[in-house]
Amino acid sequence: MKFRIIITLIICCLSIGNTEAQQRKLKKADKYYKSLNYQKAIAYYLDVLDKRDLSSAKIKLAESYRKVGNMNETAFWYGQVVRLPEVKPLHKLYYAQALQGTGKCEQADRWFKEYAAEVPSDQRGQLLVNACEPATVNQFKSVGSSYYRTQQVEDVNTGLDDFGASFFREGIVFTSERDRGAAVRRIHTWTGNPFLELYYSEIKQENDGFTFGNPVKYSFKINTKYHDGPVTFNQAQDRIYFTRNNIENNKAGRDGNGIIRLKIYTARLENNEWKNIKGMSFNSEEYSVAHPTVTPDGNTMYFTSDMPGGVGGMDLYMSMLDNGRWGPAINMNAYVLGINTEGDEIFPFVHDDGTLYFASNGHAGMGGLDIFYSKNTEGSWSPVQNIGSPINSYSDDFSLTYSADKSVGFFSSNRKGGNGNDDLYMFEREAVDVEVLVYDKNTGEPIETASVEMNCNERQFTTGSDGRIFFEMPVDRTCRIEADKDDYAANSAAASTKTSKSGEKVLVSIGLDRPLEFQLAGTVRDSDGQTLSKADLTITNDCGEPVDVLQADVSGQFAFDLMPGCCYLIKAEKGGYLVSTENVCTRGRTASKTITTKVTLKAVPSEAEQTVVVETVPGTTTTVPSFPTPPARPLGFPTLYHDFNKAPVQELYQDELKIIYDLMAVNPSVIIEIASHTDARGPASYNQKLSARRASEVVDYLKGKGLDESRFNATGYGESQIVNGCIDGAKCSEEQHQENRRTEVRVVGSSN
């Protein structure tokens, strides 16, 4: 009994001792994690988890592996984290990115979509939601496979990090962790590897390719005991800009958390030595600025920073040189909307042609960091595009640089098949730069957010504010490029590089037409100009479309959509008014338009207006009815003017007679008088008979067309109603006499 009690006490003591030991290890792990010493934190968390299943340790272990770039372990541990009760949406995003970075895009797709649904405000999530869709993956894979040839720079790479190449003189300056032989070995606790230093390797081009000289430390003036690099140079290569840890007077400066931040420095080359090293005005103790690149004129710098006020982790910024002083840092989202995400945008490089390349894990890519670009054309930036495979891969791909003619360049990657972690890769490019401009055919203005698709690799683009997109095409190729935009008809053009050399440019312009749209906006009114409400409208056309019937509103307004290339007859009717018509045509119009029209309805004449007065024609014994003179050409009836002493009306006035018939046909209740007149020359009795014959010919025509003869009266007035004083004995011109030789059509009543 005593023995069992003693054994139990021993076991309890051992258990308490183990628990206390695990707590001490957990505290150490958390301490290392907080101080960014992820390698040591990983070791302690693994030890803790070997004894206990602790959610907080799993979460921090997964994040530690993510920080040191071990994607396989990141995927394994975040795969456990996403199934914990303590899981947060961001854990799902990191799990998706780790799966994608290890080539498991199909599994990652679910977690990308879950994150986007749970955090819809995160632009990064919305950009990545389709990153693992088969169409997206295939598009990225096919982009540059036919015109980029990549190879690892085996002569330079080591088993550690080698990255950030920049052309300098006859070779490259790059950043490396290779220095293991220093007398005093300094290790970066984040990775457990030596600090970064700058190296130079001379390049020679030979028949079978390029060879690289043995890397040597670049400059003892630039290299320090902490991180140095990467670097960039101005076009003359007498000014250097470089990243290094916050070192002033050989002393490290730390932020409030004890972290040595990154800063950008510059120096001038004098007598083959870098002198006058100065920090940039936007450097800070409290945040990092890094990875500078400058335009060829040296007046604009792009860099990355996690300064307050940004979008995500590291954002792209720019600063401009003004009177010898660098201006404030401006977030690049002010110029290229959406270029910065909640992720990291780092390692910018600006080429002489205005294209800004950068690496990002917040835009849709193939996995890890991908390289993207946006081109500046006279202050207008193109939408961000993924440069595609083989430059990009499932792994981290970053720090791209081109030669001036873009025939060769370098980038860095931790993809499979390399020597170590991050390796330098060289590429040769045989491609033509293509610029596509999409514009409005009618106005000539560029069209923003037009969709552009090329049939060679089914790649899709969206135009920027200047209507442009930019991409690369292999030489000796012809592709069909189609552009489309809402409210426009799609159009396409061919882009050919058959006669182009690598590095040259091809411009393709695609004009889009808006589909012609016409609308009729009309008003129904009376002869005094007052609007008439609720008039009935019948609209017919000559394009074979159905007849449309509608009604004007209480204010006399009506609207109707018109077809292009058609002519319309608008007939308006209202009780107490004579029918009226108007003609409208869209045929021959080349621009969309709202066509306005006014339809005037004349009131049916009152009984007083229909009273007949009997007059005696001077010089004869004939009496004829006389009507008050109506307004000129009521209902649009034409006036027929006759030649001297001629009566054949039907032969000479076919068009005018048709108009009279059409107006009578659409106004079936109208009663008219056909009144013919002559000039004063010749005997009055003869003129009386002549005018009667002319009026009768009009009647005969209308009767022959099927109109009821009770609807019109034919009257010959002879020379009894001269309109201009050209009576017998007056001296008048032929034109003045012509005014009197006329046949008029007057509305005298209604059968309603």
pLDDT in tens, 733-751: 888 888 888 888 888 777 6
Average pLDDT over residues 572-586: 86
Alpha-carbon dihedral sign for residues 349, 350, 355, 356: positive
What does the alpha-carbon distance between residue 600 and residue 602 come to, in Å, rounded to a whole number? 7
Residue 423 pLDDT: 92
pLDDT tens for 110-143 read 999 999 999 999 888 888 888 888 888 888 887 7
d(C-alpha 265, C-alpha 226), whole Å: 14
Residue 650 has pLDDT above 80, yes or no: no
Query: Among 258-267, 318-327, 454-463, 602-611, which stretch is predicted with the lowest mean pLDDT?
Result: 602-611
Residue 224 confidence class, pLDDT cut points 50, 70, 90? low
List, for residues 385-423, the tens digit of each pLDDT value: 999 999 999 999 999 999 998 999 999 999 988 887 899
Mean of pLDDT values over 561-582? 88
Model confidence at 439: pLDDT above 90:
yes
The burial class, CB within 10 Å (0-12 / 13-18 / 19+), for 374 is: buried
pTM score above 0.75: no
Nearest to 80 by CA among 68, 67, 92: 92
- Please determine, for residue 185, whether its predicted confidence score (pLDDT) is greater than 60: no
Quote the pLDDT of residue 90: 93
Whether the Cβ atoms of residue 512 and residue 438 lie closer than 8 Å to each other: yes
**Residue 249 above 60 pLDDT?**
no
SS3 content of the chain, % helix, strand, coil (to 5): 25, 35, 40
Domains in the chain, CATH or no CATH each: 2-142 (1.25.40.10), 148-429 (2.120.10.30), 431-515 (2.60.40.1120), 518-601 (2.60.40.1120), 608-750 (3.30.1330.60)
- 3-state class (DSSP) for residue 591: coil
Which of 50-59, 336-345, 440-449, 639-648 is predicted least confidently? 639-648
Mean pLDDT of 505-525: 92
Q: The tokens 């670009």 sit on which residue? A: 373
pLDDT of 611 over the 50 cut = no
**What are 164-177's pLDDT values in tens digits?**
999 999 999 988 88
Question: Is 630's pLDDT higher than 60?
Answer: no
Higher pLDDT, 662 or 499: 499
Quick check: helix, strand or coil at residue 631?
coil
Average pLDDT over residues 707-729: 88
Query: pLDDT: is 280 or 312 the higher one?
Result: 280
Q: Measuring CA to CA, which residue among 101, 102, 103, 110 is closest to residue 130?
A: 110
Mean pLDDT for the chain overall:
84
pLDDT of residue 606: 58
Stretch (H or E) spanning 381: strand 380-381
**Three-state DSSP state, 321:** strand
Question: Which amino acid, one-letter code, is at 508?
Answer: V
Q: Provide the pLDDT for residue 728.
A: 85
The answer to whether 562 touches 584, Cβ cutoff 8 Å, is yes
Q: pLDDT, tens digit, for every residue of 147-166?
A: 899 999 988 898 888 899 99
| pLDDT per position as a tens digit, 342-369 | 999 999 999 999 999 999 999 999 999 9
Q: Which residues of 261-285 are buried (b: 16+ CB within 10 A; e: fewer)?
A: bbbbbbbebeeeebeeeebbebbbe
